[in-house]
Amino acid sequence: MATLTQPTSLREHVVPIAAGDHVVATRWLKQGLVFALADGRVLRWRDGATDSVEAHAGGILCATGDNDRLISGGDDGRVVATRFEGEPEELAKDPKRRWVDAITLSPSGHLAWNTGKTVHARDEKGRVRTLEAASTPQGLVFAPKGYRLAVAQMNGVSLWYPNTEAKPEFLDWKGSHLDAAWSPDGRFVVTSMQENALHGWKLGDRPGHMRMTGYPAKPRSLSWSHDGLWLASSGADGAIVWPFQGDGPQGKAPRECGVRHARVTRVAFHPGALVLAIGYDDGCILLVRLTDGSELLVRPAERGSGISAFAWDKAGKRLAFGAEDGAAGVLTLPA
Amino acid sequence: MSEKIPVTVLTGYLGAGKTTLLNRILTEEHGKKFAVIVNEFGEAGIDGDLIVGADEEIFEMNNGCICCTVRGDLIRILDGLMKRKGKFDAIIVETTGLADPAPVAQTFFVDQDVGDATRLDAVVTVTDAKWLKDRLKDAPEAKNQIAFADVIILNKTDLVSPEELAEVEAQIRAINPYARLEKAERCNVEIASLLDRKAFDLDRILDIEPDFLEAGHHHHHAEDVRSISLTIPGDVDPEKFMPWINEIAQIQGPSILRSKGILAFKDEPRRFVFQGVHMILDGDLQRDWKAGEKRESRLVFIGRGLNENELRKGFEACAA
């Protein structure tokens, strides 16, 4: 069902891409765009020309990266870096072929991934340290500064300094914690939970818990605004955006953006403006401006084509998206 | 809406023959492709493209339901497998010999993403004709696995005498008379008979008669895990029955492993059918009572330490 006033459309600014399989992640590299696919391939796209390489023997489960590489974890137990040119490079391989469910890269080049309950952290010099989590982690994220890793797991989050022998600090909260996000100012750690909620911890001198509940589904996609003052989340019929000014969202109401008769599956904040890309399970994509709630239509609903991946380019001029049926595309914002 | 992927849960005590069965399912020609979730410390090696190691990460849901435990690793793995839909037709979940099947089963009713993409087809339990007797004495898990089963494979029948076989069969029936029982040597059962049972599908709960028809076969094993069958030869009042059954599930849920019922509600032309796993009940109005079909109301509980008299009195008070 359409919203009452039909949003202005950006549809003619979208170039479609046939990615060919469930898009697990997408990322802009210096030379072009890459898609990590559930069949193990990485598709490279530049100005309409595509090629693909087989990065994993099985499927890709998760991906991260920087300007030069897409780094993926697969169900073949491997961690693989794929550049825009050349063959994929294997960074790690689990002898038991355990799944790599989570992977993350810090701005300074620290890489972390899991194989089963074991968390591996690799510093910029390539030294790998490991930590045993209480359960298989699905959410790993580095602190914005320093070599410190948050590991979401059963009943809480470990904060681990891989280069020290110190026991990780454990932020406890009963339940199963899935994805993890660390605020750009370093003050908050937030997880998505099995119980259709977010849980947050305020770190520092006056620590505190934040409970963000009321979602009809698990909020599996999280995105910080460029100024770090807002956290957008999926899992409801609109994007739920929590205010992180001051002491955080406890006791404050979130914004609800782009409410439709569908479920939000992916969210991605613009890298330089308070504009949020919202993808839904019915295939629709909207851009919503947080300040006034105005909406722009990027992609109309398309059956069986739920949105599974987003990536803004660095300049915020282009938005790449991918869907569960292998459809994908690039929106170029009109000048 | 695309068809949900059926999931068969394979349980059985260590050494009963689960791995043999799993290898047969994976190697025989039956026209189906499986993704198999095995426990990490399995009995023997099996290998393949869509074999996933699981860790039995059980946790309690924060929903105030004390027995509502689910398998977190299963939710994670099924989510990963669903991205590769089309690569397989069905999923098999192997549990460790010591596992309680309840958290696995409950995962399918409690987690919405799992429930949207897959359906629990049946719990298949492999037992060992030679050693089951001993296991029932020393291992409560072995009892749970039988009580929970929709299909029981009584394996290694060639290793026991006919008398011993009859004895062990009677022991199984004392715990769970409703499961389909397949006798086997080296797990030589027909694979197709284990799959697509739709045991948790309300539309398939047609009757809840015991699986065997040996009238007068009364073995009175003093089992703490057993089944209780209750019948009212007519209608019940839903205004009385619904609060009662919900209260039973809330209070006795931890002791009730499985429950099923077919009920005639007063002034309702359709049959009310439900099935439950511990505290989780799933019920709906089903087809009409047929002409000539006797309207009666029947319940079955399989559980540990159930008070039959109390349950009977409570149920009978719901009569219309």
CATH number for the domain spanning A238: value is 2.130.10.10
Q: Is B165 contained in some domain? A: yes
Are B31 and B145 within one domain?
A: yes
Count: domains in chain B: 2
CATH classification of the domain holding B303: 3.30.1220.10
Residue B27 and residue B128 share a domain = yes
Higher pLDDT, A207 or B108: B108
Min Cα–Cα distance to chain A from B76, Å: 8
Do B30 and B168 lie in one domain? The reply is yes
A-chain residues within 8 Å CB-CB of B80?
Answer: 59, 61, 75, 99, 101
CA distances from A220 to A95, A236, B67, B69, B216 (A): 29, 11, 26, 21, 57
User: In 3-state terms, what secondary structure has residue B85?
Assistant: coil
Six token digits for residue B160: 């026991």
pLDDT surpassing 70 at residue A2: no
Pairing of strands A118-122, A128-132: antiparallel
Residue A274 inside a domain? The answer is yes
| Domain of B303, in residue numbers | 226-316
State yes or no: ipTM above 0.90. yes
Cα–Cα distance measured from residue A155 to residue A170, given in angstroms and rounded to the nearest whole number? 9
Say if residue B153 is in the same domain as residue B193. Answer: yes
Sign of CA dihedral B196, B199, B203, B204: positive
Structure confidence at residue A1 (pLDDT): 45
Q: Is residue B213 part of a domain?
A: no
Domain annotation covers residue B14:
yes
CA pair distance B135, B141, nearest whole angstrom? 9
H helix count then E strand count, chain B: 9, 14
Question: What is the pTM assigned to this prediction?
Answer: 0.91
pLDDT of B207 over the 90 cut: no
Kindly report, residue by residue over B32-82, the tens digit of the pLDDT. Answer: 889 999 886 544 456 566 888 888 888 887 766 666 889 999 999 999 999
Residue A106 lies in a domain: no
The answer to whether residues B28 and B133 belong to one domain is yes
Report yes or no on B214 lying in a domain: no
Residues B194 and B236 in one domain: no
In this structure, how many other beta carbons lie within 10 angstroms of the beta carbon of residue A27?
23
Q: What confidence tens digit (pLDDT) does each residue in B262-273 have?
A: 999 999 999 999
- pLDDT at site B46: 61
Per the domain annotation, does B75 fall within a domain? yes
Across the A:B interface, residue pairs with CB atoms under 8 Å apart total 63
The reply to whether A118 touches chain B by the CB within 8 Å rule is no
Give B309: exposed, middle or buried? Use CB within 10 Å, 0-12, 13-18, 19+. exposed
Domain assignment present for A189: no
In a shared domain, residues B237 and B184: no
Round the average pLDDT of chain B to a whole number and report it.
87
Is B80 within a domain? yes
Residues of A in contact with B49 (CB under 8 A): 58
Q: Does A154 lie at the interface with B, CB-CB under 8 angstroms?
A: yes
Show the tokens assigned to B289.
Answer: 């009572």
Give, for B277, the enclosing helix (H) or strand (E).
strand B270-277
Of A75, A154, A174, the CB nearest to B57: A154
Instruction: Kindly state whether residue B85 falls inside one of the protein's structural domains.
Output: yes
Give the C-alpha separation, A324 to A311, whole Å. Answer: 15
Number of structural domains chain A divides into:
1
Residue A214 domain flag: no
B211 part of a folded domain: no
Task: Give the CATH number of the domain where residue B129 resides.
Answer: 3.40.50.300
For residue A155, give the nearest of A132, A137, A182, A131 by alpha carbon.
Answer: A137
Q: Is residue A232 part of a domain?
A: yes
**Position A130 in a domain:** no
- For residue A300, is it within any domain? yes
pLDDT at B66: 63
| DSSP code for A186 | S
Q: Are B249 and B300 in a shared domain?
A: yes
Contact A61 B113 (CB under 8 A): no
Q: Does residue A224 lie within any of the structural domains?
A: yes
Q: Which domain holds residue A231?
A: 219-335
The per-residue DSSP string of A188-234 comes to: EEEEEETTTEEEEEE-SSS-EEEEE---SS----EEE-TTSSEEEE-
- Least Cα distance to B7 among B67, B72, B95 occurs for B95
Mutate to test the interface with B, among A75, A172, A281 (most CBs of B within 10 A): A75
Q: Is there a contact between A321 and A331 (Cβ–Cβ < 8 Å)?
A: yes
Q: Is the pLDDT of residue A272 over 70?
A: yes
Token match 């390489």: residue? Answer: A53
Phi, psi of B108 (to 5 degrees): -75, -20
Question: Of B200, B235, B261, at which residue does a domain stop?
Answer: B200
Say if residue B185 is in the same domain as residue B247: no
